[in-house]
């Protein structure tokens, strides 16, 4: 029998879980701060530039431009920014435990540029005009990475390493699965799509990239204190 006065309370477990999450999302939070700052600067700061200049520098079109890289940092609007930052915050802790502080930003940058180029290629193949923006490719790469990592690692390992934390792994895994499934249905089932202009190929490329990165990153290396 356990003495109720000395047993950790549910509130204490929750506080420990939140502290662990806060410690494990340093890079993720910095990335979100950067995305928010970039959005405010590029869309709301009066820079006195023409629309064609904005398109050349910040948007990815079928023609080569700096936008092929910088579009990965830009957002289509407040809702797009909110969605991407929420995905990063919710699922970023898992990938930060798996990758070092050097590998994680490289992962995000590679995912962002790769998904943009994949969407641009699709534009060229189908003669699509217009432009695209968004860090959603990298965000979905993080979701897919989390999904595969949680699937491959044992819940017992988490219990041992986080003995005083509330286990949100099952909920996180289910959320990642539902988000990826729902996004694929939205992107590739026109009559069910709520956002018909979504960059389906870019999202799919990000998911595949994130899943492959998780597969080739050994799950036994997951370590919440590994901050190289």
pLDDT digit of tens for each residue in the chain (228 aa)?
Answer: 444 444 456 676 667 666 777 777 889 999 999 999 988 888 776 667 777 777 788 888 777 888 888 888 888 778 888 989 999 999 988 888 888 888 999 999 999 999 888 888 877 777 666 677 777 889 999 999 999 999 887 555 444 455 444 456 778 899 999 999 988 888 888 766 555 556 778 889 999 999 999 998 865 444 444 444
Residue-wise burial string across 202-222, b where 16 or more C-beta atoms lie within 10 A, e elsewhere: bbbbbbbbbbebbeebebeeb
Burial (CB count <10 Å: 0-12, 13-18, 19+), residue 134: buried
Maximum C-alpha span of the chain: 73
Which three-class secondary structure state does DSSP give residue 132? strand
* Domain residue limits, the chain: 10-221
Q: Tokens in use for 132?
A: 């695209």
53 and 42 Cβ atoms separated by less than 8 Å: no
Question: In the prediction, which pLDDT does 211 show?
Answer: 95
Question: In the prediction, which pLDDT does 220 show?
Answer: 46
Say how many C-beta atoms besides its own lie within 10 A of residue 18's C-beta.
12
Provide the whole-model pTM.
Answer: 0.80
95 and 146 Cβ atoms separated by less than 8 Å: yes
Residue-wise burial string across 157-189, b where 16 or more C-beta atoms lie within 10 A, e elsewhere: ebeeebeebeeebeebbebbeebbeebeebbee
Query: In the CATH hierarchy, which top-level class contains the domain 10-221?
Result: mainly alpha
Question: In the prediction, which pLDDT does 14 show?
Answer: 66
Beta partners for 60? Answer: 132
Please state the φ and ψ torsions of residue 2, each to the nearest 5 degrees. Answer: -105, 135
149 and 104 Cβ atoms separated by less than 8 Å: no
Question: In the prediction, which pLDDT does 158 show?
Answer: 47
The C-alpha atoms of residue 121 and residue 174 are separated, in whole angstroms, by 32
- Give the length of the chain: 228
């Amino acid at each position: 029998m356990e003495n109720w006065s000395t047993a950790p309370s549910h509130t204490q477990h929750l506080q420990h879980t939140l502290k662990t999450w806060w410690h494990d999302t340093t890079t993720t939070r910095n990335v979100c701060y950067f995305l928010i700052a970039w959005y405010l600067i590029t869309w709301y700061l009066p820079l006195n530039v023409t629309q064609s200049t904005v398109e050349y520098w910040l948007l990815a079109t079928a023609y080569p431009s700096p936008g092929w890289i910088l579009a990965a940092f830009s957002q289509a609007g407040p809702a797009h920014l909110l969605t991407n930052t929420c995905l990063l915050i919710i699922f970023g802790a898992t990938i930060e435990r798996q990758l070092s502080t050097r590998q994680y930003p490289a992962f995000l940058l590679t995912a962002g540029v790769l998904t943009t180029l994949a969407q641009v290629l699709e534009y060229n193949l189908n003669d699509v005009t217009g432009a695209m923006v968004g860090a959603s490719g990298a965000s979905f790469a993080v979701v897919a990475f989390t999904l595969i990592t949680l699937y491959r690692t044992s819940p017992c390992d988490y219990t041992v390493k986080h003995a005083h934390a509330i286990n949100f792994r099952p909920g996180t895994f289910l959320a990642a699965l539902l988000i990826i499934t729902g996004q694929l249905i939205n992107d590739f089932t026109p009559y069910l799509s709520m956002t018909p202009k979504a960059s389906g190929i870019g999202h799919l490329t990000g998911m595949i990239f994130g899943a492959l990165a998780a597969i080739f990153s050994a799950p036994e290396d997951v370590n919440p204190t590994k901050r190289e």
